[in-house]
């Protein structure tokens, strides 16, 4: 089981917990499963989805330091895509960056550049670190749902509620959903 890094508190601990789930799943996969492509109806490899998610997390951490985020400027084909060890090292690096942040940073203003269509110029808009944290969490959980499907196809166990949105978890834990 992945151990939470000390020093990560408040809202940023939510992203660390999600990354911890990924570390647990990485430990359950073997190297061949990590790079297999396609898996069932999903074209991308497990490693490709991991690289994509961690790229967004790294963009968030860099943005906290620079005030600028561009999620579309990612390096593809990195070792994270093909090596579980590289993915775990990237998770540890992200956790170190998150440990330097607290909830006071949530209101930090950011400029975010993104492509809305492949044939148009990127737009740049104002945001905050808190809003971008929410986006990165949502984006990561969305990809975890795909990773969970890959794991089911491969017969690899996942943590309970892996790939579930926070609102779904809240609902499932509520008295309204008591079974």
**Statement: residue 71 has pLDDT above 90:** yes
Question: Is residue 88, in this structure, part of any structural domain at all?
Answer: yes
Quick one: what percent of the chain has pLDDT higher than 70?
93
Domains identified in the chain, total number: 1
pLDDT (mean) for 74-103:
95
Question: Is residue 68, in this structure, part of any structural domain at all?
Answer: yes
List the domain range (segments joined by +) for residue 163: 12-177
Question: Is residue 107, in this structure, part of any structural domain at all?
Answer: yes
The pair of structure tokens assigned to 99 is 């440990």
According to DSSP, the β-strands at 123-128 and 109-114 are antiparallel
| Choice between 60 and 7, residue whose per-residue pLDDT is larger | 60
Question: Is residue 1, in this structure, part of any structural domain at all?
Answer: no
**Statement: residue 118 has pLDDT above 90:** no
Which residues are CB-contacts of 139 (< 8 A; sequence separation ≥ 6)?
53, 56
Residue 178 confidence (pLDDT): 61
The pair of structure tokens assigned to 164 is 């579930």
Residue 174 confidence (pLDDT): 85
Question: Is residue 113, in this structure, part of any structural domain at all?
Answer: yes
**Statement: residue 56 has pLDDT above 80:** yes
pLDDT digits (tens, 9 = 90+) for 73-88: 988 889 999 999 999 9
- Say which CATH number the domain at 132 has: 1.20.120.450
Question: Is residue 4, in this structure, part of any structural domain at all?
Answer: no
Residue 88 confidence (pLDDT): 98
Question: Is residue 22, in this structure, part of any structural domain at all?
Answer: yes
Quick one: what percent of the chain has pLDDT higher than 90?
77
State the pTM of this model. Answer: 0.90
CB burial class (10 A; 0-12, 13-18, 19+) of residue 57?
A: buried
Question: Is residue 75, in this structure, part of any structural domain at all?
Answer: yes
């Amino acid at each position: 089981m992945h151990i939470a890094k000390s020093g990560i508190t408040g809202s940023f601990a939510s992203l660390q917990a999600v990354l911890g789930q990924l570390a647990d799943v990485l430990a359950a996969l073997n190297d061949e499963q990590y790079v297999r492509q396609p898996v069932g109806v999903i074209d991308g490899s497990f490693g490709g989805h991991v690289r994509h998610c961690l790229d967004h997390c790294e963009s968030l951490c860099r943005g906290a330091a620079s005030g600028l985020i561009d999620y579309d400027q990612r390096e593809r084909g990195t070792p994270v895509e093909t090596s579980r060890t590289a993915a775990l090292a990237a998770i540890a690096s992200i956790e170190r960056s998150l440990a330097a942040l607290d909830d006071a940073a949530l209101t930090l203003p950011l400029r975010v550049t993104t492509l809305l269509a492949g044939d148009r110029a990127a737009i740049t808009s104002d945001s905050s670190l808190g809003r971008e944290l929410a986006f990165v969490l949502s984006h990561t959980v969305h990809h975890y749902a795909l990773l969970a499907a890959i794991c089911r196809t491969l017969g690899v166990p996942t943590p309970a509620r892996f790939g579930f949105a926070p609102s779904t978890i809240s609902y499932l834990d509520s008295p309204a959903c008591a079974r």
